Amino acid sequence: MKKRIRVLQVLHDFKKGGVQAEVMWPARLLDKEDVEFDVLLYKDSTVYYFEDFPRYGNLYPIVVPKTSTRVGTVLRTFTNFFFVKKKMSKILESAPQYDAVHSHHPLYNAACLSAAKKYNIPVRIAHCAVNKPTRKDFNDRLYVRVFYKLSAVILNGCATNRYGVTQNAADYMFGKNKGRMLKNPTLGL
Residue 20 has pLDDT above 90, yes or no: no
The answer to whether the beta carbons of residues 40 and 88 sit under 8 Å apart is: yes
CB atoms under 10 Å from CB of 44, counted, come to 13
Above 50 in pLDDT, residue 159? yes
In this prediction, residue 24 has a pLDDT band, given cuts at 50, 70 and 90, of low
Model pLDDT, residue 162: 94
Asked whether the beta carbons of 161 and 172 are under 8 A apart, the reply is no
Which pLDDT does position 139 carry in this prediction?
A: 53
- In whole angstroms, give the CA distance from residue 113 to residue 88: 9
Q: Judge residue 93's burial from the number of C-beta atoms within 10 Å of its C-beta, 0-12 exposed, 13-18 middle, 19 or more buried.
A: exposed
DSSP letter assigned to residue 128: E
Q: Which residues pair with 128 in a beta bridge?
A: 164
What pLDDT is stored for residue 188 in this prediction?
Answer: 39
The secondary structure of 8-45, three-state, reads EEEECCCCCCHHHHHHHHHHHHCCCCCEEEEEEECCCC
- Average confidence (pLDDT) over 157-161: 95
Q: Model's pTM, two decimal places?
A: 0.83
